[in-house]
Amino acid sequence: MQDPRYQYPRPPFPAQPQEPPGLADRMDPRPDHGEQTYKGSGRLTGRRALITGGDSGIGRAVAIAYAREGADVAIAYLPQEETDADDVITLIEAEGRKALALPGDITHPDWCKALVSKTVEAFGGLDILVINAGHQQFREGVEEVSDEDFDLTFKTNVYAMHWICRAARPHLEPGAAVITTASIQAYEPSEILLDYATTKAAIVAYTTALAKQLIKDGVRANVVAPGPFWTVLQPSGGQPMEKVQNFGAHSAFGRPGQPVEIAPVYVHLASQESSFTTGEVYGVTGGAGIA
């Protein structure tokens, strides 16, 4: 056993500003996505998964976990994140699984449709859809949230989710799973994350409504709502640098979560072990809870 308060690095962390979307390889300390720590047990053998934002952060941890549980994995990411994505593809293939790299911009509906069709073509089908990619940019006041800011956040976090789910729907057979990524921000919004928090609340509502549709055909849909996790989303404009340096200090653990600590939730929701679970929101908030 380990004391979970001290299992991973605790703040303060070095200042480390990056231009968005940022790269995980430049973070200090390096996040643990499970590269050396996640051990699989065949819970997703033969499944075919598509993960957006699979190059870094939570998406990267989920991609590694799925491959080690026996799934073929496609990851969608921005072209600027190619170096991170290359590492993930290598890790998936090291498990003897098929890997598919899908660089592109999910704020364009045609690309959202294409990444689904490319996954189905490469793997012969689609069993697990993980909507995880997100855009977060702090703004101190409502007057600073431009139309361009609002549009980019909603297109990345909400519109893309809808476009991808709509494209994936015909390919999801009974037993398939859809998992979206919300946030504690949906329940306890920060004043500097006005547009981001709004999109995360929308993800909860969208997914719970979608779950009611999909279960009629034997497909489950659930939401994961993370708290403070140490990902590149934070130092690349998601938080002011003074907050990045103390990120997670306010949690019950005195530290942020590492991506590998939330990956098992995505594994559970994709596996047959959660066969009676749909329309649920799983909070992994470091003790803050969701309400």
Pair of tokens at residue 93:
């293939």
Does residue 182 lie within any of the structural domains?
Answer: yes
Catalytic residue of the set 8, 38, 77, 196: 196
Q: How many domains does the chain have?
A: 1
* Residue 270 belongs to some domain of the structure: yes
Determine the Cα–Cα distance for residues 179 and 130; give it in Å rounded to an integer.
5
Establish if 285 belongs to a structural domain: no
| CATH code, domain with 226 | 3.40.50.720
Q: Is residue 6 annotated as part of the catalytic site, yes or no?
A: no
109 occurs within a structural domain = yes
> Is residue 121 within a helix (H) or strand (E), and if so which, with residue range?
helix 109-123
Which domain covers residue 272, as residue numbers?
A: 40-277
- pLDDT digit string (tens) for the chain, length 291 residues: 999 999 999 999 999 999 999 999 999 999 999 999 999 999 999 999 999 999 999 999 999 999 999 999 999 999 999 999 999 999 999 999 999 999 999 999 999 999 999 999 999 999 999 999 999 999 999 999 999 999 999 999 999 999 999 999 999 999 999 999 999 999 999 999 999 999 999 999 999 999 999 999 999 999 999 999 999 999 999 999 999 999 999 999 999 999 999 999 999 999 999 999 999 999 999 999 997
Q: What is the residue type of 174?
A: P
Residue 291 in domain: no
Find out whether 134 and 128 touch, Cβ atoms under 8 Å: no
10 within a domain of the structure (yes/no): no
User: Does 248 reside within a domain?
Assistant: yes
Residue 18 covered by a domain: no
